[in-house]
Amino acid sequence: MAIEADVVVVGGGLAGATAALSAARDGAHVHLISANESTLRQASGLIDALGYPNPDGDDADDAGTDAAPGPLADPFAGIDDLPADHPYRIVGADALRAGLALFDDAVGDLYRGGHTDRNALVATTSGRAKPTARYPRSMAPGLVSDDRATLLVGFEAATDFDAPLAADRLAAVGVPFDVDGVTVEFPGEYRADAAVTRLAHALERDEDAGEGRTSRQRLADRVRPHLGDAERVGFPAMLGDSQVEAVRADLSERLGAEVFEIPTGPPSLPGIRLADRLFDALDEAGVSMTTGTPVVDHETDGDGDIVRVYIDRNGAEIPYRADAYVLATGGLVGKGVDSDRDGPVEAVFGCHVPAPDDRMAWSEEGAFADHAFARFGVEPDDRLRPVGSDGSPEFGNLFAAGGVVGGADVAREKSASGVSLATGLVAGRSAAEEG
């Protein structure tokens, strides 16, 4: 027998979670299917809305050269300048506002930034300031707009953050505060390749670090001689798992300076915290979930609607039936869009993905150039139904959200999270109307 719901959401990232919450809050019984763990666990935890509209230069994306023009102080001010096929132009600025409001309600006090339309500038491990609309509470004291003297602290065991180099880069771009960096040994005895989560748990549990000192005590002892005039201290985002605020408060008291986290690459503890909070919100909204099982097939009726999707569970195909479906499987990076000799195609339902016939036009010279493939995705109508090459909906009851929707170069624009929130909200509402 098929498992039944009003709406089935395929995809467990930010877009899928937003679509599921949106549909559930509109009264639909929702089931979410995710092939893998949420992609949020690999993300920085920052919620970008729009940082660089139509960037003409190379984009750093936290690790390369500077982006241009920008950054935007107000992400909403740049929406009208985007191309007509951009997801923001299709769903409108109000959808982004509503998506951010839904996010704020779901995450509660875990995040900051909801008090304003303006972007904040958050320092990254590369030593650059990234424009973002929402940021974890643990990162709030580290905003670049704050003029307090700052010490950045890296760990020998966390080689992806060179604190002295990051401090030099921030100073070079003229931040309004004195900044210095230091690398210290992580307290306790751990393997050189110890997982970030293992180190975070050591701080959260305040484990014995030898000679009668706990991990937090010894960490404070190692940082204190380098404080100088610093009024705040930034660590890589590994200050605990579920008790990060308790760890920050304790270290702040021991150091006499406010402690904050700096977003890091995967595996991302802020991303894991966010995924856990969103999935708690889904559970509270009555959304049922199936994880670790990909959708492998679908069935349609004579009217062109999807009537069932099938997941692969240990070699058996299990049917799920709904009145409407949301596709939120990601773009090329998330493998929601595939590519072969015939061109790109959406990977689950085979939806049309527009692309230049000439493959040489898919990319430009330079790793961070304006590549056509970065905007590959399904073309949606005004209800976010993927359309075919003739402009008509491929399925009457399928709606798309997030990276699988084409038209945005989210990496260069710094808009991935905002696109997921805005399209997820609209796709969820549209699906609930069908349910």
Provide block-wise average pLDDT over 10 residues at a time, the chain (435 residues): 92 96 98 87 91 59 46 94 95 98 97 96 92 97 97 88 96 95 91 80 93 95 97 96 95 98 89 95 97 93 94 91 97 87 91 87 72 89 96 97 96 95 98 90
C-alpha span between 429 and 424 (Å, rounded): 8
- Chain-centroid distance of CA 293 in Å reads 22
pLDDT of residue 192: 64
What the chain holds in terms of domains, given with CATH numbers, is: 3-109+286-434 (3.50.50.60), 125-262 (3.40.50)
C-alpha span between 167 and 173 (Å, rounded): 10
- Chain-centroid distance of CA 283 in Å reads 20
pLDDT of residue 374: 83
Q: What are 47's strand-pairing partners?
A: 134
Helix (H, G, I), strand (E, B) or coil at 287: coil
Helix (H, G, I), strand (E, B) or coil at 185: coil
Task: Quote the crossing angle between the two packed helices 14-25 and 93-107, to the nearest 10°.
Answer: 90
pLDDT of residue 367: 65
Question: What backbone phi and psi angles, to 5 degrees, belong to 24?
Answer: -65, -40
Encoded tokens for 10: 């395929």
Q: What are 312's strand-pairing partners?
A: 317
Report the predicted TM-score, pTM, of the whole model to 2 decimal places. 0.93
Encoded tokens for 205: 């549990």
Question: What backbone phi and psi angles, to 5 degrees, belong to 318?
Answer: -105, 125
Q: What are 234's strand-pairing partners?
A: 152, 260
C-alpha span between 102 and 177 (Å, rounded): 34
Alpha helical stretches, state H, 173-292 = 196-205, 215-223, 244-255, 269-284
